[in-house]
Chains A and B, each alone.
Chain A
Amino acid sequence: MPQVTTERLKILRGKIYELMELYPSYQAALLPSFFVAEEIFGFISPEAIGEISNVTGVPAAEIRGVASFYAMYKTKPMGRHIIQLCTNVSCMIEGAYDLVEYLKEKYGLTPGGTTPDGRFSLVIMECIGACGTAPAMILDTDSYENLTKDRLDTLLESYK
């Protein structure tokens, strides 16, 4: 996890100023600035929230409210790679829960948790639109379908 340093906070500040130019209101710059914070700190850290609040003038509490509303933001420290595994009806029928169980046994990875080596985090998703090729997941920004335990192993192997 990247350390919080004044240097990094300064970079964040600069980026938010740039973003604010692009939107009609300060509030509108919040969502994209969350991605910047994640890029810099790995997640939307309390320090980042403080900095975003300082720059945009949006109260820190409100920023936390917004950041926590969306499932796509990382509001706590996460692993280097994020597995978003669907367990909705189709995937469930096709064995998504077996995969969840497998991840836990083999990698020590529980839903919402992170592997001890900080490599993977697991997020349970509600339908990612791949019902025809269930079970499916999104790993970072790539999607994978027709998953099996073996395929999962091979895939994870390629994400260091």
Chain B
Amino acid sequence: MIKITIDGIEVQTDREITILEAAKQVGIEIPTLCTFKNLSPSGSCRMCLVEIERLSRPQTACTVKITDGMVVRTNSEAIMRARKAVLEFLLINHPLDCPVCDKAGECILQDLSAKYGAAAGRFKEGKRTNPVSFEDPVIVRDMQRCILCTRCVRTCDDLQGAFAISVINRGSHSLIEPFSGGRFDCEYCGNCLSACPVGAITSKLHRHTYRPWYIERQVETICGHCGVGCTLTLQMRENTIIRVIPDFEKGLNSGMLCVMGRFGYDYTEHEERLRSPLIRKDGELVPVSWEEAVEFTAWRLKELVKKYGGGAVAGIASGRCTNEDNYMLQKLIRYVLGSNNIDSAARLFYRPAVSYLERMFGQGITANLIPGIANSDGVFVAGGDPTTINPVLGIAVRSVWKKGGKVFVVGKSGGLRSNIKHELNHAEGAGALVLTWILAKVYEKKNFISENSIIDKKLSALKVPDMDMLVRVGVSPEALQYTADELVRLKNPVVIIGPETVLYGNGSKNLFLLGALNYVLNGRLFVLMDEPNTQGCLDMGCSPGVLVGGRPVELETFGHKMENTAGMKTPEGTGLNLFEMINGANSGSIKAMFVMGENPVFNIPDKKKVESALQKLEFLAVSDIFLTETASLADVVFPASAWSEKDGTYTNLERRLQRLRKGTMSSRGRADWKILADICKALGMKESYTDVKSVWDEISRISSVHSGVRYESLIGRGGIWPYGGEPLRGIEGDFEVEGLEDMPELPGFAQSGRVILKEDKSLIHSSSLSRYSPALMGVASEPLLMINPVTAQSLGLSDNERVVITSDKGTAVAILRADRGMPEGVAALSNTFKDNGFRSIVGYTIDPTLKSLNITDRVVTIERAKQL
């Protein structure tokens, strides 16, 4: 027990804390500038000076730890003078023009100067000048205002792990640089911006339009860009978001955000937002009233069901919409129209991956906590870059490295390149080879005795490649040996699985290898999820074989739970999945489709095929916030509410249920659940819903995993899987691995002049939504083709050239970017930009075991674009 006295007040603790922390415990405020939440103390600003008895000089409260019997004074006259003097020093160079500074009103320096008064300095020399820099997108730097507290640098290094900035120059010429996207690794997360106590780093988005006192409302909500589900605060003025700020007290992200979450909110204000329902009349989409659109849709659906039966209708749900939206869509498709044909883009990766792993290990195997990653001593990543797909989860991986843990990445290391010791970047198509070798070695070294004979048997059936093969695919023996040796030593490992494991190559085998590795290591599994509510979309039964809460359709046919609890009769038999729906539309067995918040024409490969399938439908209804490639083919288009305009719940990749809250009071559209409920009503549904809460109430009555979870109680960690309910089932038995006993094949290397194309997930963009965000477009405005510099050179192409990429399925235009992280003979293009998306120019097959997307037709030629 340590006892100290601060300003005559006694403080007792059993931990060795700093004077600053001790003072805080008893409500004594000590001014600080360089101290910031979650950052280790630096003691550089001298603002926190206090007197300690028996010490001749004042000490910094933020760095000095308390010792028993210490007597501290924070309010003596000498200390007041010291504070004033420190401020006087800071203001030698700091401009005194607060009224033009965006930080005014929430600036710590301003507040302290007002309090301790040192505005009139005694220094006659001129102030240091540094021009304001607008060089960077989204961030404005005004280094005249910098007080060199290094909060930004420490945030960037220690928390974000980007190491993009540092103090440059010396003495009074010091300033913080270089940001300057791409060239110096800045990821534009803006976390330095929330750390800056003054107006030296500010957001470009609200430059000169923001003042703290303009804020009329603050709303705590969840980011809508990816499956991490960061908590953030919308600051509203009238009906617009003035800015997004992090919340340091709540949420799994502890105040960290990524570029999409912090700056990518402005798509909601895009001028192309749909404002009115549209109906196709004489080939043209024309604005109509809500009533007309709802009536028309109900009438058409009813007519088509009558004519062709419920099985001719299909619905596509969305991981961008809330649980309530998705629930209502499946209610329409299943219970009102009588069809189990409901699926979503979760089919493209997340759903097959998770359900395969759940068949191996039981339901909920991937429901692990993101903040827990930071406590692990080693992370194994395969199939995608967590720092770009789920950025804040990626930061957690970096923090493992920061604390001395190990990070291993199979494939391109991307945003984790500074955190690994050895590259395990292999030739395209050799992932299974590398994984098999690692798994076999770890299995052998661990001397593992499994209690799961199914997995054991499969493990012993594996054929292990020899080192020679691995060297031929570009992996060094040293790197492999290191990986195997270090993996066995881990006490608390994490395995992260990304989409490439399924999208290219043998999905079931890759998943088996990674699942088994995790099993042998006794680790925690994470599956990356690119949309905010893909998991929720599945939980809501938006999958052909599964009902709300994860109950399989087969069980319902004899269990009748839905019928007994909700009086809803489930259609028999498993419905069609996403691909079968497209085929059905093509062949004419599917006649009508409702697509909610999804853009299949752009997001499913083989654009021409999907487009022509949808065109053959007798009726296509779409609800979305923009007139997407898909919506423009529709017969009816409903303008939906955007993420900031609606209430509801999201379920993130940890299966944490979180509340989305409305910032904007009036929306250009309506919430999807409301649109769908109106259609259901017009088709004779009995229930009425007054608000989103009443939808949730129904869900929590029906779903066994959500049972008893009250809408109001959904805050913080209250809602983690299995929520209030019970898990459904354990391990089911055997599972299939395609080509288990085959030796993974050596990939066929591309012929000269041709390159294998992959999908690139840029940190800046989240699929096709972010193209409507001026802020994100300002950071990355053009499609880029990432390619190995040697390959580029062999094609006679150089950096920053405009190139045409041609496959058997189509062409795209992009700017070439040399990227040493790409293996030779491989290029990557994102699926973001209109007319130039990756998926539009490749084809697909269906994985026989996973029934998932397997991308084909990836061999392309790349040529210099003709001059415009």
Contacts and interface: CB of A to CB of B under 8 A. Distances in A.
Nearest to B156: A61
B418 interface: yes
Interface string B147-180: 0000000000100000111111110000001100
A118 interface: no
B170 A69 contact: yes
Interface hub of B164, B165, B166, B183 (most chain A Cβ within 10 A): B166
Contact of A65 (B168, B183, B185, B820): B168
A71 B171 CA distance: 11
A57 interface: yes
A62 interface: yes
A46 B183 contact: yes
Contacts of A70: 170
Contacts of B178: 61, 64
A61 B169 contact: no
Contacts of A54: 820
A68 B185 contact: no
A129 to B, nearest CB: 20
Contacts, number: 39
Contacts of A57: 418
A56 to B, nearest CB: 11
Interface hub of A46, A57, A68 (most chain B Cβ within 10 A): A68
B184 interface: yes
Interface in A14-46: 46
B167 A65 contact: yes
Interface hub of A59, A60, A61, A62 (most chain B Cβ within 10 A): A61
Contacts of B163: 59-62
A61 B162 CA distance: 10
B384 to A, nearest CB: 23
B418 A62 contact: no
A59 B177 contact: no
Nearest to B177: A64
B169 A68 contact: yes
A46 B185 CA distance: 13
A33 to B, nearest CB: 17
B790 to A, nearest CB: 10
A5 B177 CA distance: 26
A79 B169 CA distance: 21
Interface in B206-252: none
Given A68-B170, A69-B170, A61 B183 contact: no
B698 to A, nearest CB: 52
B168 A68 contact: yes
Nearest to A71: B170
B426 to A, nearest CB: 20
A149 B168 CA distance: 36
Contacts of A60: 163, 183-185
Contacts of A69: 168-170
B186 to A, nearest CB: 8
Interface in B596-636: none
Contacts of A61: 163-166, 177-178, 184-185
Interface size class, chain B? 10 to 19
A54 B418 CA distance: 10
Nearest to A57: B418
Interface in B394-433: 418
A68 B169 CA distance: 5
Nearest to A58: B163
A20 to B, nearest CB: 16
A68 B185 CA distance: 18
Nearest to B173: A68
A69 B169 CA distance: 5
Contacts of B177: 61, 64
Contacts of B418: 57, 59
Contacts of A65: 166-168
Given A65-B166, A65-B167, A68-B168, A59 B185 contact: yes
A59 B487 CA distance: 27
Nearest to B820: A54
A34 B332 CA distance: 68
Interface string A48-90: 0000001001011110110011110000000000000000000
Contacts of B166: 59, 61-62, 64-65
Contacts of B183: 46, 60
B635 to A, nearest CB: 54
Interface in B681-697: none
Contacts of B185: 59-61
B54 to A, nearest CB: 37
B165 to A, nearest CB: 5
A69 B171 CA distance: 9
Nearest to B179: A61
Contacts of B184: 60-61, 64
Nearest to B169: A68
A62 B165 CA distance: 7
A71 B173 CA distance: 12
Contacts of A64: 166, 168, 177-178, 184
Nearest to B170: A69
A61 B180 CA distance: 10
Contacts of B168: 64-65, 68-69
A54 B185 CA distance: 12
A6 B612 CA distance: 48
A46 to B, nearest CB: 7
Interface in B179-194: 183-185
Contacts of B169: 68-69
A70 B178 CA distance: 17
Nearest to A62: B166
Contacts of B170: 68-71
A3 B192 CA distance: 35
Nearest to A50: B183
A57 B820 CA distance: 15
A71 to B, nearest CB: 8
Nearest to B167: A65
Interface hub of A46, A59, A60, A69 (most chain B Cβ within 10 A): A59
A95 to B, nearest CB: 24
A75 to B, nearest CB: 9
B358 to A, nearest CB: 39
A69 B178 CA distance: 14
Interface hub of B168, B170, B177 (most chain A Cβ within 10 A): B168
A26 to B, nearest CB: 12
B799 to A, nearest CB: 12
A108 B833 CA distance: 51
Contacts of A46: 183
Nearest to B166: A65
B421 to A, nearest CB: 10
Nearest to B175: A68
A65 B174 CA distance: 9
B409 to A, nearest CB: 15
Interface hub of A46, A64, A70 (most chain B Cβ within 10 A): A64
A10 to B, nearest CB: 13
B688 to A, nearest CB: 58
Interface in B93-114: none
A142 to B, nearest CB: 26
A92 B178 CA distance: 36
A65 B152 CA distance: 14
A47 B418 CA distance: 19
A132 B585 CA distance: 94
Contacts of A59: 157, 163-164, 166, 185, 418
Interface of B: 157, 163-170, 177-178, 183-185, 418, 820
18 contacts: A59-B157, A59-B418, A60-B184, A61-B163, A61-B177, A61-B178, A61-B184, A62-B163, A64-B166, A64-B177, A64-B184, A65-B166, A65-B167, A65-B168, A68-B170, A69-B168, A69-B170, A70-B170
The 5 closest A-B pairs by CB, nearest first: A59-B163, A65-B166, A68-B168, A61-B166, A68-B169
Given A57-B418, A64-B166, 9 more contacts: A61-B163, A61-B164, A61-B165, A64-B168, A64-B178, A64-B184, A68-B169, A69-B168, A69-B170
